[in-house]
Each structure stands twice: as C-alpha cells, then as structure tokens.
Amino acid sequence: MKTFKILAITALLALSVWPFFNPDLRQNVDEQSGELRVRFSERIFTYSGMDIFSRMYSVGTFTGSFGAGFASLLDMKVLKRGSVYYLKDANGFITEFKEINGKLVSRFRGNLFLTKESNNSYKVRDFATKRIYSFNTAGSISAIYNLDLKRPVVIMADGVKFPNGQIMRFVKNELGLVTQITDFSGRIYSYSYNENLCLTNAQAIDGYHEMYTYDSLGRLCGISFGKESPEHISVEYTGESRDLSQIKRISGPGAIERIFTYQETTGS
C-alpha cells in the first residue's frame, strides 16, 4: 500500500509541476534509448529510469482508493485544435496525435491510437492498458471497454456504472471539483480545496484522513495520511520556478525514499 501511495503521488506531483497545456511544451521518446525528452521553450529535460510521464501518470490520483480516480474519468476528453487532435486523460495529461500511414497515433505513446467514427464520435485504443475509451461527438468520454469490447464501464454525468451494475456517484461544485463521492454501499467520502483549487483534505467516514500542504509556489510538498497516528510524505524540488520545477526527492514513512536525477541539454 505504501508503494502504491509513493507511485501515485509521483503522478500527481508530475502533473502539478507542468502547465496544463502550453504550446511551448513538447515531449517525445527516443526510439533507441527509450528515454523521455520533455522540451519546455529551449530547455530539454531527459527522464530515464523513473519515467514519470509515460508510466506513472496512469496510476491515478493519490486518493484513488477513495474513488477519486474514477471521478477524474469524467474529465477525460478528446480535443481538436486546427487539424491536430489531443487526448486529455484522467489526470489532465495531454497527448498529441499525428497521422502515420493513415492512422492517428500518439506522438508520445506508440501504443495509443485515436479513430474518428462515422457518426463523428471518437475511440481511443490503448494497447498498454488493453482498454478502449469511447467519446461522444462533443469529445466527452461515454464508456470504457476492454479491447474485446465486452463489459463496458459506462460514464454518466454524475458517476460511473460498472459492468456488475454497481454505480459510484460524485458531487462536483460549481468549479467542477469533486467534493463528495458515494460508493456502492452508500459510504460517503468528502473532499475540500484551498483558494488555489488544490486538494487540501480527503475524509472517509471510518476516520481515515488525508491532508495536503503546498509551498509558496503552489507545489505539493507534504501529505499526511492515516487515522489516529498519521504518516507523512514530504517532497523536495529543484529550481525556484514552478513551471521549470522538477521533483528532487520523495521521502515517506520508514526508509522509503526516491531520488530523481535529470540530464539537461539545450537546443531544438
């Protein structure tokens, strides 16, 4: 469980570090080394080993055990800007698609394909997770299937309906933030945010509680979780700019620690 929390928080941190969508932000994977290169303006950062963007963003939000990961599915979307298509996934990560041999293929992940159906709806096939995501004509997600197109998870306006008929429902505030989740058994989980719309508290009815703290730049720097004796995760960054910050160290309970190193180059 602790390992999951460390991996999941890495995903959340990675997303908080980079702008939601910036035309100066470009990413590609080197075909020989498999390294991820992220270009921001004229700075190129090479990620190897802990491939944050390509592997960890799919883990889900830190509170995935509460169901917040399912709630974020409601925000998945296919976007079109000019002749270019983009997929915004459940964690807000943007993937750009380019046409290769008549197919729209992710520039970032070679196992992700986008198709436009005859009725102007969309399907995204993800061979890494073995899932198909269906989107309506407006680009909003409507269902999730296994690759065999069986047992869909249906996305509704206020929740998710699972193949066994169970429904998990969500309440969002006027800003679109999830403030309450009701699971299959009727148990309720609550969420609150600060003035910068960052999650600060997550509370379960059994007393389990998560608290999130941020530094002066708005970067997530600490998490406390548990019941009577909460444990703590702390995060350190390189750089003094939010846009160009990188995770330097994640320290958790006991001897859990992850240190990140980066190779920086310049050029186009």
Segment 51-97, tens digit of pLDDT = 332 222 222 233 333 444 555 666 778 888 877 888 887 666 678 88
Predicted confidence at residue 245, as pLDDT, reads 65
pLDDT class of 254 with cuts at 50, 70, 90: low
Alpha carbon 164 to its chain centroid, in Å, reads 26
pLDDT class of 23 with cuts at 50, 70, 90: very low
For residue 198, pLDDT over 50 is answered with yes
Strand 246-251, strand 231-238: pairing: antiparallel
Predicted confidence at residue 109, as pLDDT, reads 66
Predicted confidence at residue 72, as pLDDT, reads 63
Per the listing, tokens 């915004």 go with: 88
Q: Residues near 12 by Cβ (< 8 Å), separated by ≥ 6?
A: 61, 62, 91, 220
Measure the CA dihedral 100/105/108/111, to 10°. Answer: -120
pLDDT class of 242 with cuts at 50, 70, 90: low
Lowest mean pLDDT among 77-81, 120-124, 156-160: 156-160
Predicted confidence at residue 69, as pLDDT, reads 52
How large is the average pLDDT for residues 221-237?
A: 82
| Alpha carbons 172 and 181: distance in angstroms, whole number | 9
For 222, the 3-state DSSP assignment is strand
| Alpha carbons 35 and 186: distance in angstroms, whole number | 45
Predicted confidence at residue 108, as pLDDT, reads 65
- DSSP code of 229? S
Predicted confidence at residue 24, as pLDDT, reads 34
How large is the average pLDDT for residues 14-38?
A: 38
Predicted confidence at residue 236, as pLDDT, reads 82
The residue among 258 and 160 whose pLDDT is bigger is 160
- For the chain, give the mean pLDDT: 67
pLDDT class of 193 with cuts at 50, 70, 90: confident
Predicted confidence at residue 260, as pLDDT, reads 64
| Alpha carbons 170 and 181: distance in angstroms, whole number | 5
Kind plus residue range of the DSSP H or E element containing 5? helix 2-17
pTM of the shown model: 0.52
Predicted confidence at residue 63, as pLDDT, reads 35
How large is the average pLDDT for residues 211-233?
A: 83
Q: Residues near 35 by Cβ (< 8 Å), separated by ≥ 6?
A: 29, 46, 47, 48
List Cα–Cα distances, 223 to 52, 190, 200, 201, in angstroms: 19, 17, 9, 10
Segment 166-176, tens digit of pLDDT = 888 888 888 77
For residue 244, pLDDT over 50 is answered with yes
Q: Mind giving me the DSSP string for 12-50? A: HHHHHHS-SS-TTEEEEE-TTT--EEEEETTEEEEE-SS
Segment 86-100, tens digit of pLDDT = 888 766 667 888 777
Q: Which of 239, 240, 237 is closest to 249 using CA atoms?
A: 237
For residue 213, pLDDT over 80 is answered with yes
| Alpha carbons 223 and 231: distance in angstroms, whole number | 8
